A and B are shown apart, each in its own frame.
Chain A
Amino acid sequence: MKFWSRRTGLLGAACAAVLTIAGGVHAQPTYPSQPIRIIVGYAPGGNTDIPARLFSTVMAKNLGVSIVVENRPGASGVPAAEFVKRAKPDGYTLLWATSASHSVSVVAMAPLPYDPVKDFAPITLISQDPNVLVSGPDIKAEGVQQILEYLKAHPRSPVGNSGPATSGRFAMELMKPKLGVETVPVPYKSTGPLLTDLAGNQIPFGIMGASTAVPFLKDKRIKAYFVTSLTRSRILPDVPTLNETVSPGFDAVAWSALYAPPGTPAPVVAKINAAMREAAQAPEVKQWLEQSGLEVPLGTPEQLVAFMQTDIARWVSVAKDNNLKFNAGE
Chain B
Amino acid sequence: MIGTALTDLGLGFEVAFQQNNLLFCFLGVLFGNIVGVLPGMGVMAAISVLLPLTFAMKPVAAILMLAGIYYGAQYGGAICSILLNLPCHPPHAVTCLDGYPLTLQGRGASALGITMLSSFVGASFGITEMIFFAPVLVEVAFKFGPADICSLMLLGLLAGSTLAKSAPLKGVGMTVLGLLLGLAGTDVNTGETRFTFGFVELTDGVEIVALALGLFGIAEFLKSVNNVLPISATGTVVRLRDMVPRRDELRRAFPAMIRGTLIGSMCALIPGTGPTIASFVAYAAEKKISRNPEKFGHGAIEGVAAPEASTHSSVQGDFIPTMSLGIPGDSVMALILGALVIQGIQPGPQLIREHPDLFWGLIASFWIGNVLLLILNVPLIGIWVKLLKIPYRFLYPSALFFICIGVYSTTNDLFTVGEALAIGIGGYGLLQLGFHPAPILLGFVLGPRLEENFRRAMLISGGKLSVFVERPISATFLGLAALLLIVQVVLRIRLGRTAGLQDD
A interface, CB within 8 angstroms of B: 43-46, 49-50, 53-54, 57, 70-75, 78-79, 82, 108-109, 113, 156, 158, 163-165, 184, 186-189, 192-193, 195-197, 199-200, 202-203, 214-216, 218-219, 221, 284, 287-288, 291, 326-330
Inter-subunit contact B203/A196 (CB<8 Å)? no
Query: A71 to chain B: which residues have CB within 8 Å?
Result: 48, 412
Interface members, chain B 323-340 (any A CB < 8 Å): 325-328, 331, 334-339
Q: 17 A-B pairs, CB-CB below 8 angstroms? A: A43-B331, A44-B47, A45-B331, A45-B334, A50-B341, A70-B412, A158-B462, A164-B188, A165-B191, A187-B188, A203-B460, A214-B348, A216-B349, A218-B350, A221-B349, A284-B344, A291-B346
Give the CA-CA distance A82 to B198 in the complex, in Å.
14
The answer to whether residues A57 and B191 also contact, given A43-B334, A196-B142, A215-B348 and a CB cut-off of 8 A, is no
Residues of A within 8 A of B198 (CB): 330
Question: B5 within 8 Å of A by Cβ?
Answer: no
Q: Please name the residue on chain A nearest to B145 by beta carbon.
A: A202
Contact, CB under 8 Å: B411 / A74: yes
B142 touches A200 (CB 8 A): yes
B193 at the A/B interface (Cβ < 8 Å)? Answer: yes
Which residue of the partner chain, among B51, B186, B411, contacts A328 with CB atoms under 8 Å? Answer: B186
Instruction: Tell me the residues in window 302-340 of chain B with beta carbons closer than 8 Å to chain A beta carbons.
Output: 325-328, 331, 334-339
Bound-state CA distance A78–B186 (Å) is: 12
Q: Are A192 and B203 in contact (CB under 8 A)?
A: no
Whether B44 lies near A328 (C-beta < 8 A) is no
A196 to B328, CA, bound (A): 11
Given known pairs A43-B331, A200-B143, A327-B191, the reply for A50 and B200 (CB within 8 Å) is no
What is the minimal beta-carbon distance from B321 to any residue of chain A, in angstroms? 9
Count, chain B residues at interface, CB 8 A = 55
Minimum CB–CB distance for A153 against chain B, Å? 15
Distance in Å from the Cβ of B229 to the closest Cβ of chain A? Answer: 38
* A215 close to B346 (CB less than 8 A): yes
Bound-state Cα–Cα, A210 to B499, Å? 66
Q: Which of A44, A156, A165 contacts B338 (CB 8 A)?
A: A44
Which residues of chain B are near A284, meaning CB under 8 Å?
344
A195–B142 alpha-carbon span in the complex (Å): 10
Closest to A164 in B: B191
**Which residues on A sit within 8 Å (CB–CB) of B201?**
74, 79
Q: A45-B337, A215-B350, A287-B344 are in contact. List 20 more A-B contacts (CB 8 A).
A: A45-B48, A45-B336, A53-B51, A71-B48, A79-B201, A108-B191, A163-B188, A184-B459, A188-B188, A196-B325, A197-B145, A200-B145, A203-B146, A215-B347, A216-B349, A284-B344, A291-B346, A327-B190, A328-B203, A330-B197
State whether B460 touches A202 (Cβ < 8 A).
Answer: yes
Which residues of A sit under 8 angstroms from B196, Cβ to Cβ?
330
Give the residues in chain A near B334, CB-CB below 8 Å: 43, 45-46
Question: B411 touching A73 by the CB < 8 A rule?
Answer: yes
Distance of A93 Cα from B205 Cα, bound (Å): 26
A108 to B188, CA, bound (A): 11
In the assembled complex, how far is the CB of residue A16 from the closest CB belonging to chain B, in whole angstroms? Answer: 27
Tell whether B294 is near chain A: CB-to-CB under 8 Å: no
Q: Which residues of B contact A196 (CB under 8 A)?
A: 141-142, 271, 325, 327
A193's partner among B197, B271, B331 (CB-CB below 8 A) is B271
**A49 interface neighbour in B143, B188, B338, B347, Cβ under 8 Å:** B338
Candidates A49, A75, A219, A329; contact of B204 at CB < 8 Å = A75
The total number of A-B Cβ pairs within 8 Å is: 149
| Residue contact B48 to A46, C-beta cutoff 8 Å | no
Chain B interface residues toward A at CB < 8 A = 44, 47-48, 51-52, 55, 141-146, 186, 188-193, 196-198, 200-201, 203-204, 271-272, 325-328, 331, 334-339, 341-342, 344, 346-350, 411-413, 452, 456, 459-460, 462
Contact status B412-A164, CB under 8 Å = no
A116 to chain B, nearest CB (A): 15
Chain B residue numbers with a CB within 8 Å of A156 are 462
Q: Kindly identify which residue among B142, B144, B327, B335 contacts A45, using a CB–CB cutoff of 8 Å.
A: B335
Inter-chain contact A192/B338, CB cutoff 8 Å: no
Residues of A within 8 A of B143 (CB): 200
Whether B44 pairs with A44 at a CB distance below 8 angstroms is yes
A53 touching B342 in the complex, CB below 8 Å, given contacts A164-B189, A196-B327, A221-B349: yes
**B203:A74 contact, CB within 8 angstroms:** yes
Per the bound structure, the CA–CA distance linking A258 and B452 in Å amounts to: 33
Decide: A326 and B192 in contact? CB cutoff 8 A: yes
Instruction: Chain A residues near B336: list those with CB within 8 A.
Output: 45
The answer to whether B55 and A57 have CB atoms under 8 Å apart is yes
Least CB distance from B448 to A in Å reads 10
Closest to B329 in A: A192
B41 to chain A, nearest CB (A): 16
Whether B350 pairs with A288 at a CB distance below 8 angstroms is no
A187 to B453, CA, bound (A): 11
Residues of A within 8 A of B326 (CB): 215-216
Beta-carbon contact of B203 and A46 below 8 Å: no
Query: What is the CA–CA distance of A288 and B345 in the complex, to the nearest angstrom?
Result: 9
Cβ-defined contact, B188 with A113, below 8 A: no
CB-contact partner of A189 in B142, B188, B337, B349, under 8 A: B188
Q: Are A78 and B411 in contact (CB under 8 A)?
A: no
Pairwise interchain contact A192-B188, C-beta atoms closer than 8 A: no
Contacting residues, chain B, for A188 (C-beta < 8 A): 188, 456
A326 to B192, CA, bound (A): 7
Contact in complex: A327, B338 (CB < 8 Å): no
Contact partner of A288 among B142, B344, B411, CB < 8 A? B344
- What are the 8 closest A-B residue pairs judged by CB atoms, nearest first? A215-B348, A45-B338, A45-B335, A200-B142, A74-B204, A202-B145, A219-B349, A75-B203
**CB <8 Å contact, B327 and A195:** yes
Q: In the complex where A44-B338, A71-B48 touch, is A78 in contact with B203 (Cβ < 8 A)?
A: yes
The closest CB in chain A to the CB of B47 belongs to: A44
Report the bound CA distance from A215 to B327 in whole Å.
10
A134 vs B412: C-alpha distance when bound (angstroms): 36
Nearest B residue to A108 via CB reads B191
What separation, in Å, do the CA atoms of A122 and B427 have in the docked complex? 45
Q: Are A79 and B200 in contact (CB under 8 A)?
A: yes
Do the beta carbons of A215 and B190 come within 8 Å of each other? no
CB distance from B444 to the nearest CB of A (A): 16
Known contacts: A78-B200, A184-B459, A186-B456. The answer to whether A202 contacts B339 by CB under 8 A is no
